[in-house]
Structure 1
Amino acid sequence: MLNLSGVTRRYGETVALEDLNLIVPDDTYMSLLGASGAGKTTLLRLIAGFEEPNAGQISLNGERLDGKAPHRRDIGFVFQNFALFPHLTVQENVEFGLKYRETGACADPKELTERAADALQLVGLDGFGHRGVGEISGGQKQRVALARTLVTEPRIVLLDEPLGALDANLRNRMCDELRAIRERLRVSFLHVTGSETEALTMGDTVAVLSDGRIVQADGSTELFTRPHNPAAARHLNAWNLLEGTAWAGALDTSAGMLPLSRPLAEGAAAQIALRFDQLGVSDLDAVPGGRSHFTARYVTGEFNGPTALSFFRAPDGALIQVVDHLGDPRLPELTEGRSYALHYAPGDALLFEGAST
């Protein structure tokens, strides 16, 4: 089990990570989701030993890691840009870590060859060992980088946006392959990404990094359907957040007075979260019974293949998004510039106390 407790990392006056706590259990695939600049790569570099925290502790299976040199931590790191040696063959790249590590180096040429070949077979590159790095595709380079990491049998594998340099089709295939490889090895993977879709697809558990802290770590379904706070909801790119002030049993927002799911003190700041796919759209005089609603002006739509996004503006200009699944369409024909009622089941709305930050 990897345990980060109270980890802080500063660069001068800039705080990248602050009092961060995170546990990566044994034998799990964890995704770490965060926006660009959130500190995701910094966190991986601290775990790997390329940087040291200003405060806090990092331990693996009870053994403290901070203060140890990177090559003594027994941690694998797969870089976003692959970081392969261009002058070596695929086989030689995979053998490198085994051959030159400080302890337990493998000097037997036969063993080196066999272990590297086994690692390449594991990632689906059996027979590619003789090729040069420049002779293989981006997806194959990613697999070589993974094989080079796995051949040393690390206790945990860190993946820094490993699919970012691949095209969409390759990303989808590598998602399946990475999960299958991890399950065969029974070693934990910590996979960093800025894509909410990738994080939810890959992770048994997804941790959301925001403002230098982990704001939620949960199973992918629980995180998507019940984010615990506005920061987690924003990172999922699936929730509209309407901020307002509690008044007379409702929340006074830019979209109007919306009912509260529980009592709040008069004047208290709060936010209501409404998921894109749980909002319906109707004419102003045709709101279905039993549903809460507010008025917004239709701006434009965006076709995304199996889904379509519709964009609305609240009276104060706040953008509201509604998603429709084309296999089971539910929205009416919309006219740009026209106002509609956006309605939802009261139980679908999440209430977060406090103002946005």
Structure 2
Amino acid sequence: MSSVLQLNNVRKAFAGVPALVGIDAALAEDAYISLLGPSGSGKTTLLRIIAGFEQPDGGEILFSGKRIDGVAPHERGIGFVFQNFALFPHLSVAQNIAFGLENRVLDPVTDQKVVAARVRDMIALVGLSGLEDRATTQISGGQKQRVALARTLVTEPSMVLLDEPLGALDANLRTRMRGELRAIRERCGVTFLHVTGSETEALAMGDTVLVLDRGRIAQSADAGTLYSQPASADVARFLNCYNIFSGEVAGETFRSSVGNLPLGGQHHSAGQPAYAIRYDRVSIRPLGMPPAGDEVSIEGNFVASEYSGAAINSFFALDDGRVFEVETHLSHSAPEAYEEKGRYALAWKREDALVFT
């Protein structure tokens, strides 16, 4: 698959503090790309550099094969959807969408029949039919986001940048808009680069997920690979679904603060030594039940459980004081009731662990 955007050794610092440290990435044509990272990782800086709102200190940016660092934002053919939508409150839905067509610097559209036809098609595409004459102060958050997206798409960019596009919406609407954004992108056939700090959102949305950590691309992979095989303990931490122990490898065991954990599973050479086991790979058992020959087992005291609809997350205090989390999918069985401060065995298969050396 060919690339629409190529980043080569892109660097940026503010007042001598590095924000981006040698970013290399290739974004595929006609794809949904998620850019995931914690606050301060450089996500918005990278997005603004691609858009042209900031200039890099070094490196190069190629868009459709042509170098664009130094090119003005309105000449790049890249659309930008802001987190707060940035709509004009004094204009109607249709007038907001038409604004970019009528007022762009290059080739503004002056024929009102052409503008009306393009706006009408875009309104149908994003599901706003019937709201054309409504003021943007009289529509919902999800509808505002569709207006902002339509205003960008009507100018026919080759790529759209979305800065935390679901951040201003409530939880139910965020979930619904995920599917709608993907469907709109597929109908348009352009690449979306969606910046988010939510691991759930990044995994649900992206054909490819880029993980940004301290100004570097820590991993680029499809959602399934990222979830099952994070490239480092830091990436596993961002995914918020792994229990991670620090320590060191010694022979066939991993020495940690909760004891020696027998090795098995996948080994990765990345960063500081760590041992990771995903929340949903752990079984909770009565104390005294011996682990099978291919299992690892530790002990912990039950603290509390949280329901999240399809699953229940149970929290245990380990002997070193840390909290250990277990996720149980309720489709497997009815939820167990655990005794408060009761001691339990927490077991998992050796092969399910990830070891970073």
TM-score when scaled to structure 2?
0.94
Give the counterpart letter for 1:326 in structure 2: L
Alpha-carbon distance between aligned partners in 1 of 2:155 and 2:202, rounded to the nearest angstrom = 26
Q: CA offset at residue 82 of structure 1? A: 0.2
- In the alignment, structure 1 residue 280 sits paired with structure 2 residue 283: yes
> Which of 205, 214, 217 is the equivalent residue of 2:220?
217
Partner of 1:161: 164
Given candidates 291, 294, 298, the residue that maps to 1:294 is 298
SS of residue matched to 2:148: helix
**Distance across 1 between alignment mates of 2:217 and 2:301:** 36
CA contact (8 A) 1:282 1:332 kept: no
Matches within 5 A, 1:47-86: 47-86=50-89
Structure 1 runs (4+) greater than 6 angstroms displaced = none
Q: Distance in 2 between matches of 1:46 and 1:281?
A: 48
In structure 1, what is the equivalent of residue 241 of structure 2? 238
| 1:22 aligned to which of 25, 31, 36 | 25
Residue number among 92, 109, 123 corresponding to 2:95 in the alignment: 92
Matched, 1:115 2:118: yes
Residues 255 and 296 of structure 1 are in contact (CA less than 8 Å); yes or no, is this contact kept in structure 2?
A: no
Q: Does 1:329 align with 2:333?
A: yes
Residues 102 and 110, structure 2, Cα contact 8 Å, conserved in 1: yes
Q: Distance in 2 between matches of 1:122 and 1:206?
A: 26
**Number of residue pairs the alignment of both structures matches:** 350
Residue in structure 2 matched with residue 3 of structure 1 by the alignment: 6
- Taking the TM superposition and a 5 Å limit, the aligned residue runs for 1:259-270 are 259-261=262-264, 270=273
| 3-state secondary structure, aligned to 2:39 | coil
Cα-to-partner distance string for 1:19-54 (whole Å, 9 max, x where unaligned): 111211001001111112222111111100000111
Separation in structure 1 between the aligned mates of residue 248 and residue 28 of structure 2, nearest angstrom? 40
- Whole-angstrom CA distance in 2 between matches of 1:336 and 1:248: 37
- 1:125 pairs with one of 119, 122, 128: 128
Q: Bigger CA drift: 222-231 or 239-248?
A: 239-248
Q: Measure how far apart 1:263 and its partner are.
A: 11
For residue 106 of structure 2, what is the amino acid of its counterpart?
A: T
- Relative to structure 2, which stretch is displaced further, 30-39 or 134-143? 30-39
Contact 1:251 1:270 in 2 (8 A): no
Q: How far is the alpha carbon of 1:13 from its aligned partner?
A: 2.9
Query: Match of 2:197, as an amino acid?
Result: G
Residue 332 of structure 1: how far off its partner (Å): 4.7
**Equivalences for residues 333-348 of structure 1 within 5 A:** 333-348=337-352
**What is the distance in 1 between the residues matched to 2:195 and 2:229?**
21
1:314 Cα shift?
Answer: 2.4
Deviation of 1:262 (Å): 8.0
1:44 matches 2:37: no
Percent of matched pairs sharing the same residue: 49
SS of structure 2 residue aligned to 1:7: strand
Do the aligned residues in 1 keep the contact of 2:266 with 2:355 (CA within 8 Å)?
Answer: no
Partners of 2:338 and 2:288 lie apart in 1 by: 15
Q: Tell me which amino acid in the other structure corresponds to 1:145.
A: A
Task: Tell me how far apart the structure 2 counterparts of residues 126 and 286 of structure 1 sit (CA, whole Å).
Answer: 62
Structure 1: unaligned runs, 5 residues or longer:
none
Q: Structure 1, residues 80-116: CA drift from partner, whole Å, max 9, x if none?
A: 1000111111111111111111212101011111111
Opposite residue 352 of structure 2, the aligned amino acid is D
Q: Which moved more, 1:129-138 or 1:253-262?
A: 253-262
For 1:31, what is the secondary structure of its paired residue?
Answer: strand
Superposition CA RMSD, Å: 1.8
For the residues of structure 2 that align with 1:318 and 1:214, how far apart are their CA atoms? 29
Contact 1:28 1:204 in 2 (8 A): yes
**1:132-181 deviations in whole A, cap 9, x for unaligned?**
11111111100000000000000100011111111122212211111111
SS of corresponding position for 1:305: coil
| CA deviation vs aligned residue, 1:287-330 (integer Å, no higher than 9, x gap) | 34231111222222212222111112222222211011122237
- State the alpha-carbon separation in 2 of the partners of residues 310 and 262 from structure 1: 24
TM score, norm. by length of structure 1: 0.94
